[in-house]
Chain A
């Protein structure tokens, strides 16, 4: 409580407000105001156009919880996507980072290639993979006759969500690889040298010397993966639009569709509020588990 000392309180001069007011004015107008407004609108039948919308109490929430099967199904899709993406991207990125740690010239080209998909926008990624997993795959099937290319990567409802996660892994591996590379390079050289002198090598060095240093990077990366996957919208939306038959509809796509396609704003916002509740729970969990005051993108 040292910061509460009187001498510190006195330091808040007009200059303080000059520094913090501009950003917070924007936050009030474009975050706090919309958030509170949204909370209110979630109790109404607002459709985005008419101004004489009515207060309907908990109707929206009750209808969502009791009857909206597609909304809850979209949580299932989001969970599958999140699990596959988070575990997959971390496994691939960690493996690649360990293998690239030595850093020959060829390795730096490899790093470049693996990272490059990260700078593309989601429309490019989604549409290009729509082509690759559709037409191109069919073409390869005719060319090679391999069954692998006959799988309906995005047309089969049982498979499409895994394909979306795989594409997201392709897109994100480079990012996570860099985090792991930085963690590996932060291991003091003399620790590894000392282990080598003691006769440690290869896998032994990895398990007993390097891995303990990596745990914090792993836990950070797992949470970054989860948050990133939960917020994923553009990639899946551009690739499949939520189809086939809702098989890749994540919560965000479900909310987007029911708000803007069917113009049921109040109902859509109520869905958002329930999602926010879920996100807040995960955020609180994250802070508790990692003991970090901040969560980074």
Chain B
């Protein structure tokens, strides 16, 4: 019994080390520049949110936040609908065509976005999708599409076919069968998809970096990067910006920790 307390305490110390960089940023984001220069480690003297106000303005936080939100929500919506529909047919209709389509998806898993950055930029330019949220959304959906289809497919293989058939008996078919009857059954895996892909989209850096140069279409990572690069950075203000861009997703994580944990392990171990 006693040993387990010592182990817990030791692990907690290590865990605190993991947390300490975030704490350091938080503490220094509340200091004035003068306090910061005097000591990186001292506690802030007063609770001053001035840095946050400055950061919000300089990194155009609200605009970037809104852009990130739009891209994340619309990408996820499109992704969940299209990927679950595709997975449904690929898992139920076992014809040669399904195998071919699955192979296409697999190839896109092996050739990630990272390997195609230049062709993606060239293609986006042709379609007029540079500097647009629509462009980000479409490329996000494709980048996440194959993993998501496979996640849904793995889950669908465990959903009994009898359910489809009883739906047929009631005269429902096609999308009228799928969305009211099948899709709700997929809720556990949909939750996983939303969490895994939501986190990835919200934090995606590479895709916005290559597709967006116009400040009006900046997502949070780009806005933060511009803030770090172009202003004669005051670290305290920058830290406030870093906290601002991280707080929404940290809050969501604290609020839905169980879902996060289940989502990640389901994504990694199923299949």
Return the CB mask of A127-138 against B: 1 if under 8 Å, else 0: 111011001100
Interface of chain A, main secondary structure: helix
Given A96-B14, A272-B116, A297-B267, A23 and B145 contact (CB-CB distance below 8 Å): yes
Query: Which listed residue, A9, A107, A238, touches B8 by the CB 8 Å rule?
Result: A107
CB 8 Å contact bits of A256-297 with B (1 = contact, 0 = none): 100110000100110010011001100100000000111111
Given A16-B93, A19-B88, verify A220-B118 contact (CB < 8 Å): no
Q: Tell me if B's interface is mostly helix, strand, loop or mixed.
A: helix
When the two chains form their complex, are residues B118 and A269 in contact, meaning their CB atoms are under 8 A apart?
A: yes
Which of A15, A41, A182 touches B269 (beta carbons < 8 Å)?
Answer: A182
Known pairs A111-B15, A136-B40; A23 contacts B86 (CB<8 A): yes
Bound complex: CA A127 to CA B203 (Å): 15
Tell me, rounded to whole Å, the shortest Cβ–Cβ distance linking A232 to chain B. Answer: 9
CB contact list, B11-34 vs A, under 8 A:
11-12, 14-16, 18-19, 21-22, 24-25
Cβ of A6 to closest chain B Cβ, rounded Å: 10
Instruction: Indicate whether B169 reaches chain A with its CB closer than 8 angstroms.
Output: no
Q: B25-54 CB contact bits vs A (8 Å, 1 = yes)?
A: 100000000000000110000000000000
- Check if B264 is an interface residue, CB within 8 A of chain A: yes
Answer yes or no: B150 CB below 8 A from chain A CBs.
Answer: yes
Contact (Cβ within 8 A) B95 A269: no
Interface: B220 (CB within 8 A): yes
* A259–B210 CA distance with the chains assembled, in angstroms: 11
B69 / chain A contacts, CB cutoff of 8 Å: none
Q: Please report the C-alpha to C-alpha distance between residue A253 and residue B144 in the assembled complex, in whole angstroms.
A: 22
- Are the CB atoms of B11 and A26 closer together than 8 Å? no
Check B249 against A119 for contact (C-beta < 8 Å).
yes
Considering the chains assembled together, what is the distance between the CA atoms of A158 and B202 in angstroms?
34
B92 to chain A, nearest CB (A): 9
A128 to B174, CA, bound (A): 51
Contact bitstring B144-167, A, C-beta under 8 A = 1, else 0: 010101110010000000000000
Q: A99-B7, A109-B12 are in contact. Are A127 and B228 (CB under 8 A)?
A: yes
Contact between B106 and A8, CB atoms less than 8 A apart: no
Given contacts A27-B142, A231-B114, contact A113 B7 (CB under 8 A): no
Contact residues in B for A23 (Cβ distance below 8 Å) = 82-83, 85-86, 145, 149
- A113-B18, A136-B40, A280-B110 known; A19 and B85 CB under 8 Å? yes
The 8 A CB mask of A169-186 against B (1 = contact, 0 = none) is: 010011100110111000
* B90: interface (CB < 8 Å): yes
**Do B82 and A22 have beta carbons less than 8 Å apart?**
yes
A113–B15 touching, CB < 8 Å: yes
- State whether the Cβ of A246 lies closer than 8 Å to any Cβ in chain B: no
Please tell me if the beta carbons of A27 and B122 are within 8 angstroms of each other in the complex: no
Q: Which residues in B have their C-beta under 8 angstroms from that of A234?
A: 205-206, 209, 221
Interface contact A34-B123, CB-CB below 8 Å: yes
With beta carbons under 8 angstroms apart, the residue of A33, A35, A136, A238 that contacts B111 is: A35
Tell yes or no: A194 within 8 A of B by CB: no
Tell me whether B139 and A30 are in contact (CB under 8 A).
Answer: yes
Evaluate contact between A238 and B4: CB separation under 8 angstroms.
no
Judge if B132 is at the interface, Cβ distance under 8 Å. Answer: no
Give the residues in chain B near A217, CB-CB below 8 Å: 269
Q: Given known contacts A122-B221, A182-B265, is B96 in contact with A4 (CB within 8 Å)? A: yes
A118 to B249: give the CA distance in the assembly, Å: 10
CA distance A173 to B235 in the complex (A): 27
Check A132/B118 contact, CB under 8 A, given A9-B95, A12-B97: no
Instruction: Tell me the B101-155 residues at the A interface (CB within 8 Å).
Output: 101, 104-106, 108-112, 114-123, 127, 138-139, 141-142, 145, 147, 149-151, 154
Q: Which residues of B contact A260 (CB under 8 A)?
A: 210
Can you name 19 extra interface pairs (CB under 8 A) apart from A104-B4, A116-B253? Answer: A4-B95, A24-B101, A29-B123, A30-B139, A32-B104, A99-B11, A107-B11, A110-B14, A113-B16, A121-B224, A123-B224, A170-B18, A175-B264, A252-B114, A268-B118, A276-B115, A296-B151, A296-B267, A297-B200
15 A–B contacts, CB within 8 A, in A order: A11-B93, A19-B85, A23-B145, A24-B101, A33-B123, A34-B119, A114-B18, A119-B246, A121-B246, A128-B25, A170-B21, A179-B264, A220-B269, A238-B205, A296-B147
Question: Which A residues have a C-beta under 8 Å from some C-beta of B?
Answer: 2-4, 8-9, 11-12, 15-16, 18-20, 22-24, 26-27, 29-35, 37-38, 41, 48, 96, 99-100, 102, 104, 106-107, 109-124, 127-129, 131-132, 135-136, 139, 143, 170, 173-175, 178-179, 181-183, 217, 220-221, 224, 231, 233-234, 238, 252, 255-256, 259-260, 265, 268-269, 272, 275-276, 279-280, 283, 292-297
